[in-house]
Chain A
Amino acid sequence: EIVLTQSPGTLSLSPGQRATLSCRASQSVGSSFLAWYQQIPGQAPRLLMYGASSRATGIPDRFSGSGSGTDFTLTISRLEPEDFAVYFCQQYSDSPITFGQGTRLEIK
């Protein structure tokens, strides 16, 4: 099973700042089958990125993803108030599908 470790656990930033979230895999994620999801408390997760760097439909371009192999990054270039949420990475390269434990992005 591929274990995904996200860091930091909590990130405290202000609107307008840049956010960098990390996701590290215990073994290589084939074909960059890595996705990022945003979850606002009380709501279902929403797909942000797939294939490590492709934005999902309707996702603003301030969100970007990068990485390959075992190290992946989600970057939010300029934080908007609605971006403060929990972010999960997910690998779908190998069964079982696994998620990271999440990074909470909170307003400083």
Chain B
Amino acid sequence: EVQLVESGGGLVQPGGSLRLSCAVSGFTFSSHAMNWVRQAPGKGLEWVSSISGGATITFYADSVKGRFTIFRDNSKNTLYLQMNSLRADDTAVYYCAKETFRAFDSWGQGTLVTVSS
């Protein structure tokens, strides 16, 4: 069974940093691109970042470029999102999502990030 479990969310002050993790199991992690998608409270879905299976290619939404870094450790079956210079509008539930045929076929349960003083 495919499982994705996010962790690392919490309350952080504006300008602060946070690192999210997504531990996966049930599939060959290194064979799949992975993504982070966020959802602000009561809002729609916003793609944040993606990384190829071999970690050689990354993409970012303009809203997070230069502040967030996606990376992965294929030996630990874990995806990460390093978030720096956090702003109030980064407040959201962050989901990790597995990519197959370029669609997101499995999602974690999400972790809430709240940026507030």
| Residues of A participating in the B interface, judged by any CB pair closer than 8 Å | 33, 35, 37, 39, 43-47, 50-51, 56-57, 88, 90, 92, 95-102
Partner of B44, one of A44, A50, A88, A97: A88
A6 and chain B: residue at smallest CB distance:
B44
Give every chain B residue within 8 A of A46 (Cβ-Cβ).
Answer: 107
State the CA gap A19–B110 with chains docked (Å).
29
Some 29 contacts from A to B, beta carbons below 8 A apart, are A33-B102, A37-B45, A43-B109, A44-B107, A44-B109, A44-B110, A45-B37, A45-B95, A45-B107, A46-B107, A47-B103, A47-B104, A47-B106, A50-B101, A50-B103, A51-B101, A51-B103, A56-B103, A57-B105, A88-B45, A90-B45, A92-B102, A92-B103, A96-B47, A96-B61, A98-B47, A99-B44, A99-B47, A101-B44
State the CA gap A4–B50 with chains docked (Å).
20
- Least distance between B92 CB and chain A CB atoms (Å): 13
CB contact under 8 A between A45 and B45, given known A96-B61, A96-B62: yes
Give the number of residue pairs across the A-B interface with Cβ within 8 Å.
56
